[in-house]
Amino acid sequence: MRAARLHAAGDIRVSEEPEPGAAAGMSLVRVTAAGICGSDVHWWAEGAIGDAKLTHPLVPGHEGAGVIARGPRRGERVAIDPAIACGTCRACRDGYRNLCYRIRFSGHGETDGMMRELMAWPTELLHPLPEAISDVDGAMLEPLGVAVHSVGLGHLPLAGTAAVVGCGPIGLLLIQLLRASGARSVLAVEPLGHRREAAVRLGADQAADPASLSADGVLRELTGHGVDVAFEAAGTDEAVRLAVASARPGGRVVLAGIPGDDRISFQASAARRKGLTIAMVRRMNEVYPRAISLVSLGVVDLRSVVTRRAALGEVCEAFDDASRRTGMKVVIEPQR
């Protein structure tokens, strides 16, 4: 089989490897789609993400779908939950599987990811895909799950107001979910014009360039006394600053972006004087069935967020494209 391995920052190679074996409780999956996430771009560009560093050649990818190749469920199309929790630590016992102390995550640390033709994965983490959901959409269920988890942390009141700062794939999915959750208005903030256009098309009432918000009073004009919940999905200090500035007194700020240098800073007094509640997003927690239902019911349009599909042999160009942010989501199709 073929696999793409990241050997160092900017050095990803496709080569032939032995087919993996599937132990008890595992299934062999023929991967049909694997999305390139912003965290994958960090790995590719920097050889690290947060405090984790590349220590050996690693197969990236944690947004995936495929077809079970062997066993009783052979031929079944599935979405692949990338997180293997231990099930026994305090976080798992308390119901926070995404915060597991001993979690193994696809394409991270010692665990090879989904940018390969075949992978062995726990059978219980393979979610059946309805016929109406394509393989590419199946891969997009993971970022949708992160957005679902983020909205849950935001506690948006009925007919409340929201801002989304950063309109990459996660931000665009957030906008759709906020509309489905009954938001009265959604402000999108994004520096790239094509992403602002996508934000409005997918449900934002207005989309602003952050450069236009530097003058005093402009953000106040857009949000009134501030939004109930501000979601940050860019991973920059400026995005966090704008999220804090856009929130009303007593509001909430949900931080979903991952900063490249593992640091977040903002003016403490701005958040303190408003008495803001700040929530941090850590992947997602048991949301695949809900995400599948949202897509099946037509509540969320995943296809509109995918702007490029590439074969495994085109992975270098695909990562370069994703890093330049000329589109939205790039998906690798290992079987092409």
Beta carbons of 207 and 190 less than 8 angstroms apart: yes
Q: What's the pLDDT at 224?
A: 80
Mean pLDDT confidence for 101-117: 95
pLDDT higher than 90, residue 221: no
Question: Can you identify the CATH homologous superfamily of domain 145-280?
Answer: NAD(P)-binding Rossmann-like Domain (3.40.50.720)
**Strand, coil or helix: what is 35?**
strand
Q: What's the pLDDT at 169?
A: 95
Give dist(CA 222, CA 187) in Å, integer.
8
Q: Which of 39-43, 103-107, 213-217, 275-279 has the lowest mean pLDDT?
A: 213-217
pLDDT higher than 90, residue 223: no
Buried b / exposed e along 114-129 (16+ C-beta atoms within 10 A): bbbbbbbbebebbbeb
Q: What's the pLDDT at 70?
A: 87
pLDDT higher than 90, residue 204: yes
In 3D, which of 135, 122, 140 has the Cα closest to residue 294?
140
Give dist(CA 326, CA 307) in Å, integer.
9
Confidence of residue 215 (pLDDT cuts 50, 70, 90): low
Confidence of residue 216 (pLDDT cuts 50, 70, 90): low
Residue 60 corresponds to which amino acid? P
Q: What's the pLDDT at 178?
A: 97
Give dist(CA 251, CA 244) in Å, integer.
9
Residue 167 corresponds to which amino acid? C
**Strand, coil or helix: what is 236?**
coil
CATH of the domain spanning 2-129+302-333, picked from 3.40.228.10, 3.90.180.10, 3.10.20.30, 3.30.300.30? 3.90.180.10
Q: What's the pLDDT at 222?
A: 79
Mean pLDDT confidence for 200-223: 84
Residue 168 corresponds to which amino acid? G
Mean pLDDT confidence for 312-322: 94
Mean pLDDT score of the chain: 94
Beta carbons of 82 and 104 less than 8 angstroms apart: no
Q: What does pTM read for this prediction? A: 0.94
Mean pLDDT confidence for 43-52: 86
Number of neighbouring beta carbons within 10 Å of residue 45: 16
Domain boundaries along the sequence of the chain? 2-129+302-333, 145-280
Q: What's the pLDDT at 217?
A: 67
Mean pLDDT confidence for 227-237: 95
Mean pLDDT confidence for 29-56: 91
